[in-house]
Copies of this chain bind each other. A is one copy, B any other.
Amino acid sequence: MPLRGLAKAKNFTLGPTAPMKTFTENVHSQNNEINNLKKIDKTHNLTNNSQNEKLYKYESQIKSSFDRIVPTLKEIARIQHHEDFINTAQSISKQNLGINLPTHILDKSWVKPLDMRALYAWCAFKQHEKLSDNFFENDPLEGSFGSPNANNFETALLDCGIHLLDITPCSDGRLAHSVAYVMRIPFSAVRRRSHAGALFDIENTVNRWVKTEHKRYRENNPNEAHEDTRYLKIVTYHFSSVDPLHQGCAAHGSDDKLAAKEGSEKLLAFKEAVENSFCCGASVDLMLIGLDTDTDSLKIHLSSSDGKIDLENTISSLDIYNSTINFSKDEAEKEICQIISGNSNKVQLKGLDKFVYKLIVNNISQIDYVKKFHKGSYEDIGHAERFIGVGIGFKEVHLRNLTYFAHLDTVEEGAPDLDVGVKIFTGLNVSQDLPIPIVIRFDYSGKVPGAKERAAKDCYRVNNAISIRYKSLVDKGLLHTCLTIRDRDNIHSAQIIGMSLDQKTKEAH
């Protein structure tokens, strides 16, 4: 279904940062303080403020648990030669970070300087473990499988003519919150596969398409195969409105146009692969979205009725936000419908138009989130990830700049993605003499005999390949790994099956 709002939308000028800059400048101006405070407080009438509060509480709680690691370890470093060091260190750690430190590392402080790199990696792994446990046990983002949010969203998706939503954002940590925050989609209702440059694997995605269709034929799940719905593949590339020439997508040399073009080419190749490989009108729907990593606003590319993706013309959620900021809820909804479909009647929205409407309304909340909690534009416009996630899984990670993803089965195939991650962390951590914490994860299906053992074997295999590829970092204690597996058929949390920190202990005995 084409987005027919082009005629109306094309006169929008995105002026990437203009509205935000004006806003930020106003905030800092001393002259119109009262007026500005009103502006700060003013949110869009479509914004879900209570959801924003919850999301911010979650974000700040998790991030501070990582950001307290360095000050805590500094405090512990200072007392390493004090009496009763181990007990004091443990109680500081427990109080500040809520975790115990590994005794076998603290134990050695009398004979050699405390291995702060090992402690740093340990703390990062344990904070990740806590966030992961909390995620799977308490569903803090209220988006788990079977939750009311997930069920409602899945029904709404079907109503938009979509039976599977498959999103590939860039591996970049600044897009790790795309699903739960930027698009406000329950995490369990979407397939997410992050790749550097958002350049997903065609063969793998065709396999996923086959599995999805087979489930419809065999189990009528989520709907019957003959119903006229589609598999929707979305590519989310990214750009920076604040520093477009340096803080865009590294995989595309910060060239927005190239990122959009290559994303579009991948999408069309996927569609062609499905159409050529299967009979009986097999096809998929496609969507290309640009994400501004500074404001979290979206540029949704228009597609024509013949299936082409328009690289120039987009619907900008930020433009819509700005132009409707003073509208009532009802007026704003009508205006968005008008822009998308050329018709202001919400009831008449159909198919992908309806889905785009949903995305824009959801994203308006996120624009206000960034305005309210991050001064309209993130302070960390560049990379600031806390750890690298390698393997298959990580359903629990939904925060901006928390994790650099390298979605891979083998280091042999995924090395280009992983190299980018290691390069980023060489700047972030190694330059400060801190190690790169890498969490390895392989999800498995507990229903399949031996799958758990194979997932563990995959972890060890990837760990071994990492230790060969980045030997010089590993040898200096500047790269540590934590091996985890998780049963995807179960609500249970992930399980740590080993750490590079453990192995050293064993060797020492």
Contacts and interface: CB of A to CB of B under 8 A. Distances in A.
A150 to B, nearest CB: 21
A450 B269 contact: yes
Nearest to A213: B214
Contact of A202 (B214, B269, B272, B451): B451
Interface in A199-216: 202-203, 206-207, 210-211, 213-214
B280 A447 contact: no
Residue with the highest number of chain B CB atoms closer than 10 Å, among A213, A273, A449, A465 = A449
Number of copies: 2
Nearest to A277: B447
A412 interface: yes
A219 interface: yes
Interface in A239-284: 268-269, 272-273, 276-280, 282
Interface string A396-419: 000000000000011111000000
B214 A273 contact: no
Contact of A413 (B273, B410, B445): B410
Interface string A452-482: 0010000001000100000000000000000
Contacts of A7: none
Nearest to A446: B276
A450 to B, nearest CB: 5
A195 to B, nearest CB: 14
Contact of A276 (B276, B277, B447, B461): B447
Contact of A210 (B210, B282, B409, B413): B210
A280 B210 CA distance: 18
Contact of A450 (B202, B213, B214, B454): B202
Contacts of A508: none
Interface of A: 202-203, 206-207, 210-211, 213-214, 217-219, 225, 268-269, 272-273, 276-280, 282, 409-413, 445, 447-451, 454, 461, 465
